[in-house]
């Protein structure tokens, strides 16, 4: 559930280790944050994202420091992979940032490592409001009764389409369309527009999760995988057939086009991603882009849920109260909502959602898409993510790509995935 715009997911998920010396850090085990003689404290805030996100966040920090003059915020931002590389090193040394951007796939992992602050006590003390959230998002960061993260925005999987190509091909996806109809539409686009129908959905863990949920399963349980080797063999066999038939884009050309997407590079007419990523396509491509519904198995159940980026605190912070106040401000203040817009998803709280009303076509589409999901009651609880989910997702993406390129047969890719996932989820 992630809003990292222009960097491709393969590179994003190469979570490598690093040494403290290489990063110019020391293994400080005495907690984070600092204070001064006049009562002013400094907290460290880290996030991943683009330069544009950094500019927006810095504007919100200026507002926070104006309201809380005794709290100073030291910032650090990185691209996604670099963020987690640095964070892993800091967390291992007991020096994690006081507050940081987080995602569902990392909650159990870092909770098991005693890195995350349980924010429940701060909420009970009145330093963090858990009211005013949209669509039940206030529970999104709860794990085993602990509050390990607070949402800043929401998003859901969608199909981003090149509206011009779809229009010329006479394809008009509607809610409840089936996977058979989706594949038929891709073939029509291939045959009439000289372009692959889809970029290739076979390595997108979150999409496969929805497909499994439509069949009464899920990608993850609380402790492991929720599907079998036979399930994945079926998924990847059909995917490879899609590549060879041309309804999915040539993976070699897709890789060569990066950091552009296959859609904006005009190699495919659509691809599955998070709804708020649509902003990327509008700024990157030359066509008109929009959102289409997730295909279904039975015409009704989509398996969808609202995902979210969130803010978490360090268990070793010296300033839990100030961390809670900072998080509260960032998720509730209307001016913050206006500044951030849909950069991290549709604002999670009603106050920020109402404060920012998009006036651009893409923003309006994102808002309408999520409103439709809520009103039609298709949303379900999110699938649990056990510790090791991030490494498992990386393996799924990498092996799916190798399968699509033909460098690893389907049967071998499946076996390898289950081996790597077992190791990641049991470590």
Per-residue pLDDT of the chain (427 residues; tens, 9 = 90+): 444 433 343 443 433 333 333 333 333 334 566 766 678 999 999 999 888 899 999 999 999 999 999 999 999 999 988 999 999 999 999 999 999 999 998 999 999 999 999 999 999 999 999 999 998 899 999 999 999 999 999 999 999 999 999 999 999 999 999 999 999 999 999 999 999 999 999 999 999 999 999 999 999 998 899 999 999 999 999 999 999 999 999 999 999 998 899 999 999 999 999 998 888 888 889 999 999 999 999 999 999 998 889 999 999 999 999 999 999 999 999 999 999 999 999 999 999 999 999 998 888 999 999 999 988 889 998 877 899 999 999 999 999 999 999 999 999 999 999 999 999 999 7
Ramachandran area for residue 376 (φ above 0: left; ψ -120 to 50: alpha; else beta): alpha
Pair 227, 177: CB distance under 8 Å: no
Task: Locate 78 and state its tokens.
Answer: 């990185």
Q: Can you tell me whether residue 221 is helix, strand or coil? A: coil
Task: Locate 124 and state its tokens.
Answer: 């009970």
Tokens 């005013």 locate to 132
> Which of 26, 63, 36, 32 has its CA nearest to residue 46?
32
The whole-angstrom separation of Cα 57 and Cα 77 is: 10
Q: What is the DSSP letter of 295?
A: P
Which domains does the chain show, CATH number per domain? Answer: 29-155+307-356 (3.40.190.10), 157-304+383-426 (3.40.190.10)
Count how many Cα atoms sit within 13 Å of the Cα of residue 250 in the half-sphere of its side chain: 9
Q: Which long-range contacts (CB under 8 A, 24 or more apart) does 331-337 make?
A: 331/150, 331/151, 331/152, 332/129, 332/132, 333/60, 333/63, 333/64, 335/60, 335/63, 336/60, 336/63
Q: In this predicted model, what pLDDT tens digit does every residue of 239-281 receive, in sequence order? A: 999 999 999 999 999 999 988 999 999 999 999 999 988 888 8
Backbone angles phi, psi at 125, to 5 degrees: -85, 0
Pair 308, 155: CB distance under 8 Å: yes
Q: What is the pLDDT of residue 100?
A: 98
Q: What is the pLDDT of residue 148?
A: 97
Give the total residue count for the chain. 427
Tokens 């109809």 locate to 181
> Which of 255, 62, 28, 290 has its CA nearest to residue 162?
290
Task: Locate 139 and state its tokens.
Answer: 């529970």
DSSP string, 118-178: -THHHHHTTSS---SBSTTGGGTTEETTEE--EESEEB-EEEEEEHHHHHHHT----TT-B
SS3 content of the chain, % helix, strand, coil (to 5): 45, 15, 40
How much is the pTM?
A: 0.83
Q: What is the pLDDT of residue 317?
A: 97
The whole-angstrom separation of Cα 353 and Cα 203 is: 32
The whole-angstrom separation of Cα 351 and Cα 362 is: 21
Rg (CA), the chain: 22
Count how many Cα atoms sit within 13 Å of the Cα of residue 282 in the half-sphere of its side chain: 14
Q: Can you tell me whether residue 117 is helix, strand or coil? A: coil
The whole-angstrom separation of Cα 115 and Cα 118 is: 10
Q: What is the pLDDT of residue 38?
A: 79
The whole-angstrom separation of Cα 352 and Cα 358 is: 12
Tokens 């050309």 locate to 253
Q: What is the DSSP letter of 20?
A: T
Q: What spatial distance separates the first Cα and last Cα of the chain, rounded to whole Å?
A: 23
**Cβ neighbours around 13 below 10 Å, total:** 20
């Amino acid at each position: 559930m992630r809003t990292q715009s222009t960097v491709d997911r393969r590179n994003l998920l190469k979570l490598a280790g690093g040494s403290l010396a290489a990063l110019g850090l020391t293994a400080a085990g005495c907690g984070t944050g600092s204070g001064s003689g006049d009562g002013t404290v400094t907290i460290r805030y880290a996030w991943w994202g683009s330069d544009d996100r950094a500019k927006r966040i810095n504007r919100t920090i200026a507002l926070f420091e104006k309201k809380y003059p005794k709290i100073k915020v030291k910032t650090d931002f990185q691209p996604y992979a670099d963020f987690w590389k640095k964070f892993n090193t800091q967390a291992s040394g007991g020096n994690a940032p006081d507050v940081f951007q987080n995602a569902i796939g990392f909650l159990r992992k870092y909770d098991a490592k005693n890195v995350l602050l349980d924010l429940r006590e701060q909420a009970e003390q009145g330093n963090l409001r858990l009211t005013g959230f949209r669509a039940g998002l206030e529970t999104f960061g709860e794990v085993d009764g602990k509050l390990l993260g607070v949402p800043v925005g929401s998003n859901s999987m969608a199909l981003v389409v090149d509206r011009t190509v779809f229009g010329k091909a006479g394809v008009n996806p509607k809610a409840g369309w089936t996977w058979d109809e989706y594949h038929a539409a891709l073939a029509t686009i291939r045959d009439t527009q000289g372009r692959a129908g889809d970029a290739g959905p076979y390595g997108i863990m979150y999409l496969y999760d929805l497909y499994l949920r439509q069949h009464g399963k899920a990608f993850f349980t609380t402790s492991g995988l929720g599907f079998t080797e036979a399930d994945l063999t079926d998924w990847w066999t059909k995917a490879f057939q899609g590549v060879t038939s041309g309804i999915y884009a040539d993976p070699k050309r897709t890789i060569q086009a990066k950091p552009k997407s296959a859609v904006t590079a005009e190699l495919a007419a659509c691809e599955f991603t998070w709804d708020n990523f649509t902003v990327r396509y509008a700024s990157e491509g030359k066509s008109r882009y929009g959102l289409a519904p997730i295909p279904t198995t039975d015409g009704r159940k989509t398996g969808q849920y609202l995902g979210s980026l969130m803010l978490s605190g360090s268990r070793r912070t010296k300033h839990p109260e100030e961390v809670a106040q900072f998080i509260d401000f960032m998720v509730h203040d209307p001016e913050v909502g206006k500044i951030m817009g849909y950069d991290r998803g549709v604002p999670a709280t009603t106050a920020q959602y109402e404060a920012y009303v998009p006036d651009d076509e893409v923003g309006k589409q994102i808002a309408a898409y999520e409103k439709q999901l809520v009103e039609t009651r298709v949303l379900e609880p999110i699938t649990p993510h056990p510790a090791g989910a991030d490494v498992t997702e990386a393996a799924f993406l990498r092996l799916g790509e190798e399968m699509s390129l033909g460098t690893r047969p389907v049967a071998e890719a499946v076996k390898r995935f289950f081996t790597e996932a077992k190791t990641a989820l049991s470590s």
